[in-house]
Structure 1
Amino acid sequence: MKFLQVLTFYPAYSEALYARHPALAHLPYEKQLNVILRDGFGALHYFGLPMRDLGWDSRIVLANVPQLQAAWMAQNNPARLAAGASIIDVLRLQIESFAPDVLFISDSVAFQSQFVRTLAVRPRIVSGWRAANIPPDTDWQEFDLILSHLSGCRKKALEHGAREAEFFYPGFPGFVHDAVKDQTADLDLIFCGQWTPEHAARNRMLFRAAMQARSKGWKLEYHLHVNGSGKMSSALESVMHSAKWGLDMFRTLRRGRISFNAEIDLAGGEAGNMRLFETTGVGAFLMTQHHANISRYFEPDREIVTFGSEEEFLEKAAYYIEHDAEREAIAERGMRRCQTEHSLESRAAELDAILRKRL
């Protein structure tokens, strides 16, 4: 059976990658794709790779990387490329030429039912992932299945027309740890992520932590991708640094004695975002918001440390900055749990089971 995963990347990341490696755009399609995937951006969602070991003829398509898609067209349909094919046209041709049994769209808001209806042959299963805001006009009537770790997203998926919605979450790929394991900690606190209006509670925590770091003399860095509509306090300018992507982001997580995390506001009191696994997977010490379901993933105070308020976060941060042995032991246990129970391979096995019972 055939499995095709459609991924999209932040344009800022792909633009930076190609600017850093000018020769990349001139490589054949498969070589470009391999270079990009090995850089690890969004690697917790690379299900198309381990699905091959589960008996699937599996491929990954990066739908919105122009240089890569142009290389595919040059090798597979040069006449259409010369005529000015759009990104949507290229993706449609890729899907139709592969004819997958399962189409898994990781950005199910960018590619909704309107796109699926344009395919010459509909795959047996059209599935998607969503764990973020769902616009009110989203149409998932052509989707057989939407996966999410957030119950609110699963409920909305059904309201927007999906036939089914099921619990699922990403997994940590072992190659990432191997690539960054030599990075040592030289900062007290680190945060890598986004600053958006949808993360209001986290934004407040970032501000409080920066003020505490200033008064305590902690070494702190924020590597933020700032949404254009997000308003940031000028008080954070001294700790603001450029966003980190791919393996650079994973290395940066290891630079912090403490890497902290808070969920998007719409999570509604549920844990399970990618940073839980990104941080623990590379062996960094994680402090994250306490939610009722956190023990589904990690054991608090043994594999990670949780906090219920900004004040508790600051108190525990001060403690663990000073207690290296305890902090490192917790990080080690968290890493072992992540790399076994939450590995990309184990999550792909779960995805395989979810799909096969519907075929």
Structure 2
Amino acid sequence: MRIFQNSGLNPSYRPRLADLVGQGSGFEQQMQLFLNDRYGAAHILSPILEGRPEAFFTNGDDESLQRAWASENGLGQDTPLADILLAQIEHHKTDVFYNLDPFRYDASFVRRLPGHVKRKIAWRAAPGRIDFSGYDLVLCNFPSMRRLWEEQGARTAHFFPAHDPELDTVAANRSRDIDVLFFGGYSRHHQRRRQILEAVAGLASRRRVVFHLDLSRYTPLAETPLGWFGPLKAVRRPRAIRNVSAPPVFGRAMYEQLGRAKIVVNASIDMAGPDRGNMRCFETMGAGALLVSDSGSYPAPMRDGETMVVYEQPQDALERIERQLDEGSWDRIGWAGNRAIREEYSKKRQYERFLELV
């Protein structure tokens, strides 16, 4: 079975990737540099990571990568990215098209796929209206999201991120110099997250706290006198958060920070609904740090007090973090979290489930 997996890039990750790639690399060199950096590895199927010849992976929105392939395969430099992706699928003779970026490549693209593509499968775990017609299945690990896609006419199935085995080396380090770590977005969609982070930042006077924030593009303006009033207030960081802020990290740079952290705070976005268990949870537990996350409906291996810790309110998060650090139980629970994720959500089990769905 020939599998083609397409994904996309966070705009904030692009500068790091550009530095890794440098100038003049061909498609294969760029692709290997990307895969080795482990960005989004929780969602990349094992045949891709293992380099199996029947599996093909690309980021359809990565212009440098895609134009390298186009140049190597006789396509003009003005060829639209969607046409390059289509040409790759035709060249690969794909049986199964698995798309992690259906917002960009929706039903209008799927209708153009060649006849040898027997199954068209999408992954989507964020709200928004997308035309999924033409896709055989839409995968997600959040029941509420699946209901949303089903209401829009899609057929859905349960699927999940997986533990990246590269994190086992990270987890083995138990001498950690960051007490509390957070990394993630900070925008107008993160008002509840802002309250939680502001409370946790209060620990900075007695603990080492680091927040790697992927800021809204309006945040720099919001933090000038011009942004003191009006709608920009929603993206302005309180002083306590600014004092512990650092630039966003991705890929192996993120893994490195996870290996330094005793506790990683997770706070879902305002639109997330009741379901929990995003990729950040898998990465944190996989790295052996203690996941401290907001209350909600988690998958079975994520158990409060056993493999992770759950909080209800911002002050509750603060108290639970302090207790785990004071008692040293972050180490025991963090190790238990690593074991649970390795056993329940291995790459092998992820791919076996994917084959069942195909």
Q: Tell me the TM-score normalised to structure 2 length.
A: 0.88
- Kept in 1: contact 2:167–2:287 (CA 8 A): yes
SS in 2 for 1:265: coil
Aligned to 2:19: 19
TM-superposed deviation, 1:98: 1.5
Q: RMSD over aligned Cα, in angstroms? A: 2.3
SS in 2 for 1:72: helix
SS in 2 for 1:81: coil
Could you tell me which of 128, 131, 137 is aligned with 1:145? 137
Distance 1:63 1:50, change over 3 A: closer
- Kept in 1: contact 2:291–2:334 (CA 8 A): yes
State whether structure 2 residue 76 is matched by structure 1 residue 81: yes
**Kindly, what percent of the aligned residue pairs are identical?**
25
Could you tell me which of 28, 31, 48 is aligned with 1:30? 28
- Alpha-carbon deviations, 1:230-273, whole Å to 9, x = none? 60324122111100010111211222221111223333211111
State whether structure 2 residue 312 is matched by structure 1 residue 322: no
Aligned to 1:193: 184
SS in 2 for 1:104: strand
TM-superposed deviation, 1:56: 8.9
Q: Output the CA distance in 1 between the equivalents of 2:299 and 2:140.
A: 18
Could you tell me which of 213, 233, 257 is aligned with 1:224? 213
State whether structure 2 residue 203 is matched by structure 1 residue 213: yes
Q: Output the CA distance in 2 between the equivalents of 1:114 and 1:122.
A: 18
Could you tell me which of 296, 301, 304 is aligned with 2:300? 296
Q: Output the CA distance in 2 between the equivalents of 1:329 and 1:320.
A: 10
State whether structure 2 residue 352 is matched by structure 1 residue 349: yes
Aligned to 2:104: 110
Aligned to 2:166: 175
Aligned to 1:331: 334
Q: Output the CA distance in 2 between the equivalents of 1:179 and 1:257.
A: 12
Aligned to 1:160: 152
TM-superposed deviation, 1:57: 2.4
Q: Output the CA distance in 2 between the equivalents of 1:126 and 1:51.
A: 21
Distance 1:50 1:8, change over 3 A: closer
Q: Output the CA distance in 1 between the equivalents of 2:168 and 2:188.
A: 31
Q: Output the CA distance in 2 between the equivalents of 1:184 and 1:352.
A: 39
Count how many residue pairs are aligned between Structure 1 and Structure 2. 342
Q: Output the CA distance in 2 between the equivalents of 1:74 and 1:198.
A: 40
Matches within 5 A, 1:193-272: 193-210=184-201, 212-214=202-204, 216-228=205-217, 231-235=235-239, 236-272=241-277
Could you tell me which of 91, 96, 116 is aligned with 1:97? 91
Aligned to 1:58: 55
Q: Output the CA distance in 2 between the equivalents of 1:123 and 1:220.
A: 49
Q: Output the CA distance in 2 between the equivalents of 1:165 and 1:159.
A: 10
Q: Tell me the TM-score normalised to structure 1 length.
A: 0.88
- Kept in 2: contact 1:116–1:122 (CA 8 A): no
Q: Output the CA distance in 1 between the equivalents of 2:11 and 2:183.
A: 17
- Alpha-carbon deviations, 1:151-172, whole Å to 9, x = none? 222122123332x111211001
Q: Which protein has the bigger helix share?
A: 1
1:260 counterpart letter in structure 2: V
- Kept in 1: contact 2:289–2:330 (CA 8 A): no
2:70 counterpart letter in structure 1: M
1:222 counterpart letter in structure 2: F
Q: Output the CA distance in 2 between the equivalents of 1:140 and 1:198.
A: 25
2:272 counterpart letter in structure 1: A
Could you tell me which of 278, 283, 291 is aligned with 2:283? 278
